[in-house]
Amino acid sequence: MRTALLHGRELAYREAGDGEGKPTLLLIHGMAGSSVTWRELIPRLESHFHILAPDLPGHGQSSLEFDDYSLGAMASALRDLLVAKGVTRCTVVGQSLGGGVAMQFVYQYPEFCERIVLIGSGGLGREVNWILRLLAVPGAELLLSAAAAPWFVNAGNAVRRFLGDKGIRAEAMAEAWAAYESLGRPGHRRAFFKTLRSVVDNRGQAVSATNRLHLAGRLPFQLIWGDRDPIIPVSHGHATHEAIPGSRLAIVEGSGHYPHVEDPAAVERIIVEFMTGTEPGHIDHSTPGADMATDPRAAD
């Protein structure tokens, strides 16, 4: 892990595959997650690409003192990281919440973007798992404070270790539990609720990128979805694919919300084929409609 100091606050990130001439992948994790989610994918991709995998503000090892956890603020933090690293162009890869951040990043800073890869992405439809809708209701933090108490988390970890000793592995369950475990820490729990309520309400996803697909569609666009995703339905992937001419959709069979963890070989193959089979796109200020993307009010 490394850290970059951005406006007085630390943003943690992983970096791999640094080398002259390699295209950069910006890997953006999901809600209550961290860059650890890319542990299976980074070793598979670092020989091909320069990889930056940040912990979003309020997540992982990044500072818990960020003031704003909206998609726009997170996109701005990622732009600041790229500037600090001297990266001027990248392919944005976002999973779940990270997909929504990726789309917002493209909208605000299109000049940085070459391609888009979305994995089980948020922001592409209303439907979302009922648990997230429940947690978005005011007062839910009191319930979660008890449910994420250290004794409960420790008991869950003991069960996971027992199952692991018996040779039982469930990568999706482990990934979901890691996110849940982080909520046992009050600072991360506060950041989680601020982030969640910026994108989800009791009726479902409250932020939509569908009215911005015309801009994202100017770049090579790859969608990846697990066919058993219980958090965000695969129908969102199909609808977005149909809405963006020339986009690609890959369904990872037998995977849920974390295909990059559940079947990293398949996701590696999809990304490498996408990167090698497409030319970097470019959206500049002369592109019709792109002027709106650089307006600071775009994050509102």
Q: How far apart are CA 52 and CA 35, in angstroms?
A: 9
Annotated active-site residue 165? The verdict is no
- Number of residues in the chain: 300
Q: Which of 35, 50, 121, 229 is catalytic?
A: 229
Q: Which residues contact 235 (CB under 8 A, 6 or more apart)?
A: 125, 127
Residue with tokens 């701005």, as numbered in its chain: 76
The values of phi and psi at residue 116, to 5°, are -130, 135
| Calpha distance 277→262 (Å, rounded) | 24
Q: Which of 96, 121, 198, 255 is catalytic?
A: 96
18 is known as an active-site residue: no
In 3D space, the residue among 198, 204, 265, 267 whose CA is nearest the CA of residue 236 turns out to be 204
Catalytic residue selected from 29, 188, 257, 260:
257
Is 257 designated active site?
yes
Residues contacting 50, CB < 8 A, separation 6+? 15, 16, 17, 18, 19, 22, 23, 24, 25, 87
Enumerate the active-site residues: 96, 229, 257
